Amino acid sequence: MIKRISRSIRDTIENIEEIQGKDKYYAMLFLEDLNIRTTFEKKNNEHFHGYINRHRDYFREIRGSRDEKAFLQILAKNNLIKINERYSKDRFSKSYKSEIGSFGGWTTIKAKDYLNNYELRHHKERVKKRENKYKSILWHKKNIEKLVELDIKKLKLLFLEIGIDIEFNNKTELIKSLEKLETIDFDNSTKVLIRKTFDLLEIENTSIVKGDNSNRHYHALSNAPKKLRNCLKSKLVDKPFLVEIDVKNSQPTILMALIKANKMKLEQEILELTEQGKFYEVLGMAWGFDEAEITNNKKVRDKVKKLVYGTVLFAESRNNKYFKELKKFYPYFASAIEKLDEGRTLARDLQRLEVKIMIPIVKKYGGVGIHDSIILSCTSGALEVEIVKNEIIAKFKKLGVNVTLSIEIFE
């Protein structure tokens, strides 16, 4: 069993004498997992605090023992992780922050080099058990393997755009070239691009898991950079066009759907403006921002979004001037947010509703789901896309919300 991890993680853990045998291997896997999740959260969550929640069952699944506390304390003692002890039963687990960055390229580690025969046999059994846990979503994994692959010609152009000229004529030569690039300490975004390129080149080996709380499906494409996803092509000769259908302004739109689904009162103005893609303008104007600035100035828009997420939607406390000011303008909306997040579950419930809307459509039409978007393989595009598009619109309409979709055809 071979795993690709950051060279910096392997070298650091190899040099810590207190971590021995199988725990060297599991420490490497855990640190690599934290770094991958951290990269994803930084990209998708403006208010990410650096800590990743991990339930104790996670450690028992990968290590096969119940002494995770001692294992984690050794990692913390050696400055490999920080531990946030805060947790709430059935709501969120303790969280962990990696103290080792990913740099120096990538390398591979083999389970057999760290585990004895007994440990290796049981490790394989746990991996198999974990795979069986996600049997119900294996159809999605099969869709990915069947539908898409990287177009290496497009990929070459992508690397040229960022100043890297790779010489290759086929997939094998490309992998060798990428392995050489792994030894170079590029900036973080380039390192992520190289790492995700490996994942997509070997997409037949992709794994798929379902979020324990959110029910979201996570796979090789879930956190692939958009520019890398644009290098995909269809594997199907009879359906050569790849099309991505994306819910625009998805988080605010799904929020409106969640409020309506719970039969809560809501100001018609905020609903209609959200449907028009002006959710951040609505809230920003309540705080004195200029509407045109929010729409046209990225710095201003980002500032408003940060305030929305940090003081309204996912605030530690709503006893702040921004929420109080918003409440004066939109009391029903503010009250709905407070009620929906009474158990600190708003983020989870938004993701669950997203899954409830999108995943059945992904399954029905044999596509690939990436949270709020669907990738389809089509013959000519127009008719098939229209059918799927109308089904998404109808699902939101049933919840009382008009949705706007964007359509992108992969050249």
> pLDDT by residue (tens digit) across 167-211?
888 888 888 888 778 777 777 778 778 878 887 887 777 778 887
How much is the mean pLDDT over the chain? 86
Mean pLDDT of 65-82: 88
Q: How confident is the model at residue 91 (pLDDT cuts 50, 70, 90)?
A: low
> pLDDT by residue (tens digit) across 21-53?
889 999 998 998 888 777 666 655 555 677 888
Is pTM beyond 0.75? Reply is yes
The string of DSSP letters for 369-391 reads EETTEEEEEESSSHHHHHHHHHH
Confidence at residue 43, expressed as pLDDT on a 0 to 100 scale: 55
Give the range among 3-7, 109-113, 335-339 with minimum mean pLDDT: 3-7
CB-CB contact of 358 with 369 (8 Å): yes
Residue 222 CA to residue 181 CA, distance in Å, equals 23
Confidence at residue 350, expressed as pLDDT on a 0 to 100 scale: 93
Confidence at residue 7, expressed as pLDDT on a 0 to 100 scale: 82
Closest CA to 253 of 230, 279, 231, 232: 279
> What is the b/e burial string over 178-215, where b = at least 16 CB atoms within 10 angstroms of the residue's CB?
bbebbeeebeeebbbbbbbbbbbbebeeeebbbeebbb
CB-CB contact of 329 with 283 (8 Å): no
> pLDDT by residue (tens digit) across 244-274?
999 988 999 999 999 999 999 999 999 999 9
Q: Cα–Cα distances in Å, from 323 out to 163, 294, 314, 368?
A: 45, 18, 11, 38
Confidence at residue 411, expressed as pLDDT on a 0 to 100 scale: 64
> pLDDT by residue (tens digit) across 270-312?
999 999 989 999 999 999 999 999 999 999 999 999 999 889 9
Confidence at residue 206, expressed as pLDDT on a 0 to 100 scale: 72
Confidence at residue 103, expressed as pLDDT on a 0 to 100 scale: 65
Q: How confident is the model at residue 67 (pLDDT cuts 50, 70, 90)?
A: confident
pLDDT at 153 over 80: yes
pLDDT at 384 over 90: no
Q: How confident is the model at residue 223 (pLDDT cuts 50, 70, 90)?
A: confident
pLDDT at 409 over 80: yes
* Amino acid at residue number 377: S
Percent over 70 (pLDDT), the chain: 94
